[in-house]
Amino acid sequence: MTKKFLIENTKTLFYALIIAILIRSIIIQPFYIPSSSMESNLLVGDRLFVTKFSYGYSKHSFPFSPAIFKGRIMYKPPKRGDVIVFKTPADNRTDYIKRLIGLPGDTVQFIDGDVYLNGNQILKTIKSKNDIINCGNSKIKVTTFSEKLPGGKIYTASYRNDLSYKNSDKFIVPQDHFFFLGDNRDCSKDSRFLTEVGYVHKDNLVGKAQILFFSSDPSIGSIFKFWKWNHIMRFNRFFKKD
């Protein structure tokens, strides 16, 4: 009886594990925001559901990126403005989350602090000045803008009031690659930094950020301190869709 019980429970756990891996690999994966590079749209402590089927599948769709096939199958190109989780080209292991700005063949350039896409300035209008947001362990003053991409996608982006990133050479996005920026423009390692991130190949895309389902403030305390939930939990951010 005991042997049969152990066998049946082992089989149940095995099947549950296989189902969990399939769901995480093929359908949806939770993702934790570990840095301030997407503030104020995404905060440290936010948890997102990332859809794995949005752009098709590559080896990076699966845990530990096994080399089970080459390239990308069932590929659907991402849209400009999507917030995407991808594996960094530097190590093909670390997950980053940024906003897609440049598509294959595009040129991207910063001129006097403004972003130019294919020679045209991305339209931006001031939403507020002297906002305070995080940059790692520091607080910085920023001006928050509403930006509108070709195609109509509107989002907010923050630029530091001092020491802002002003000018760059032209970035020419290679075929099958993408150019990403963080919404916290002066506190983000992204495609501007070619040796650390650079252009991201389509095979490195993991999935599209869709729903912010949970959020807590780790600077205040752990979610296991339930007696502090009224301070730790950001209830107003639960189940927000991008």
**pLDDT for the residue numbered 194:** 92
Distances (CA, A) of 45 to 31, 34, 133, 233, 242: 10, 7, 14, 9, 16
Q: In whole angstroms, what is the distance from residue 209 CA to residue 195 CA? A: 25
Report the CATH architecture of 2-117+164-241: Ribbon (2.10)
| DSSP structure class, residue 42 | S
Q: Which candidate in 98, 124, 202, 208 is catalytic?
A: 98
Model confidence over 186-221: pLDDT tens digits? 999 999 999 899 999 999 999 999 999 999 999 898
Residue 70 annotated among the catalytic residues of the structure:
no
Q: In whole angstroms, what is the distance from residue 27 CA to residue 51 CA? A: 6
**pLDDT for the residue numbered 228:** 85
Q: Which candidate in 37, 58, 158, 188 is catalytic?
A: 37
Q: Which two tokens stand for residue 24?
A: 């995480």
**pLDDT for the residue numbered 2:** 75
**pLDDT for the residue numbered 15:** 65
Average pLDDT of the residues of the chain:
91
- pLDDT band for position 59 (cuts 50, 70, 90): very high
DSSP-derived secondary structure for 123-187: EEEEEEEEEEEEETTEEEEEEEEEEE-TTS-EEEEEEESSS-----PPEEPPTTEEEEE-SBTTS
**Torsion angles phi and psi, residue 39, rounded to 5:** -65, 150
Q: In whole angstroms, what is the distance from residue 56 CA to residue 9 CA? A: 34
Helices and strands, counts by H and E, the chain: 2, 15
**pLDDT for the residue numbered 17:** 72
**pLDDT for the residue numbered 206:** 96
User: Under 8 Å CB-to-CB from 227, ≥6 apart: which residues?
Assistant: none
Using the predicted structure, report yes or no on whether residue 27 has a pLDDT greater than 90: no
Mean pLDDT of 119-148: 95
Count of residues for the chain? 242
Residue 37 annotated among the catalytic residues of the structure:
yes
- Its pTM stands at 0.90
Using the predicted structure, report yes or no on whether residue 48 has a pLDDT greater than 60: yes
3-state class of 3 per DSSP? Answer: helix
Mean pLDDT of 37-54: 95
Q: Which two tokens stand for residue 87?
A: 């594996």
